[in-house]
A and B are shown apart, each in its own frame.
Chain A
């Protein structure tokens, strides 16, 4: 059995029919991960007892496999009466997993803001919320555009994990085609090529943004 190019072209539309689902998962997952990650990092920087708990939670998220986290949410949530569609479970698991990494990215971004900014905000009498939203977040985002973008690309590449909980996305369609026709090579090569091109496009975009920010005189 060798590679049949006509078959590969024939199944391409069927696999691409769920392209939108993959993009939707990626966009919602990235938004969720960024918001949660920023929330975690804010709690970790608070002065209360919550910071120690948060530190542990972030480490726990980062020290366990995404696959197991997906299984956990998929099988354990219904035990407590929470039945969500598989797609939602997948998006929640992806957001949570990457929020742990983004919290670390935000930490580095905030650490690289000069101390004078914090003191100036205090001197101007800004509240804590104003400090975070108006002073820290804009400067931090500029510092971390590149690493944050790389994690967004990683999240895109993790979307096929949702195939294992039967979310209809590109990998699960490819596996479906494979088990219908007993031909594995073509669907796998097609789905791999689609993901590879998508990931390379995204990381190209991240690189462009990185270069533009570096050229800007206020960067640094």
Chain B
């Protein structure tokens, strides 16, 4: 098989990779906002509970979470498909990281913003919705883009729970036609092509956010 054949063969798995990414985002984005905002507002035992849930998803190794949920849920009487488990675990893991970006961005805002909202006669919720979140969104965008890249790369883990994504297809090809150098180079390039545009976009936005902090120094 030529390099191009292998590359095209690997692309047969791109639909699963994209599907898991999109489903993962369906978990990650709501989780990040709900728990980031909750952690920002909650006090006392409520805050501890929110933090515990976030830390569980954020601080456990993702590969252990995927194996753990995939293998032990059936034993506990919960039967979910591999794609549901994979995208849920990946999404909530990334969402845990995202929630910290949401919370940090809300906390970094000037207090005067909320006070001005109160002075204008707004209630707490409209202040959050109309004043705090729109401003915080700019600050969290670079982190969100980085987390999106982590999610795309993380989808390679679903190959371990038998989903036929790009990594799984590459391994299948290597079983028929043992040419690891070609196959894994093609696989690296396939992921690189998916993630590189987001890497570039993230860097551009980061530079815009941190503009005016002085020129870079050469050694």
Contacts and interface: CB of A to CB of B under 8 A. Distances in A.
Interface in B39-78: 55-56, 59-65, 67-68, 71-72, 75-76
A118 B63 contact: no
Contacts of B56: 196
Q: Is the interface of A mostly helix, strand, loop or mixed?
A: helix
A188 B68 contact: yes
Interface residues of A, number: 57
Nearest to A66: B153
Contacts of A1: 75-76
Interface string B183-219: 0110110011001100100000000000001111111
Nearest to B157: A67
Nearest to B76: A185
Interface in B120-168: 149, 153-157, 159-160, 167
A59 B189 CA distance: 12
A189 B67 CA distance: 10
A110 B71 CA distance: 45
Interface residues of B, number: 45
Contacts, number: 142
A68 B59 contact: no
Contact of A183 (B75, B174, B184): B75
A211 to B, nearest CB: 16
A17 interface: no
A133 B120 CA distance: 54
Interface in B160-180: 160, 167, 170-171, 174, 180
A68 B62 CA distance: 15
Given A45-B217, A110-B217, A157 B191 contact: no
Contacts of A69: 188
A183 to B, nearest CB: 7
A128 to B, nearest CB: 6
Interface of A: 1-3, 42, 45-47, 59-60, 62-69, 71-72, 75-76, 79-80, 110-115, 118, 128, 131-132, 136, 153, 157-161, 163-164, 171, 175, 178, 183-185, 188-189, 191-192, 195-196, 199-200, 203
Given A157-B59, A188-B64, A199-B60, A64 B219 contact: no
Given A2-B76, A111-B214, A128-B219, A171 B191 contact: no
Contacts of B55: 196, 200
A140 to B, nearest CB: 11
Nearest to B171: A71
A178 B75 CA distance: 12
Given A64-B153, A192-B68, A163 B63 contact: yes
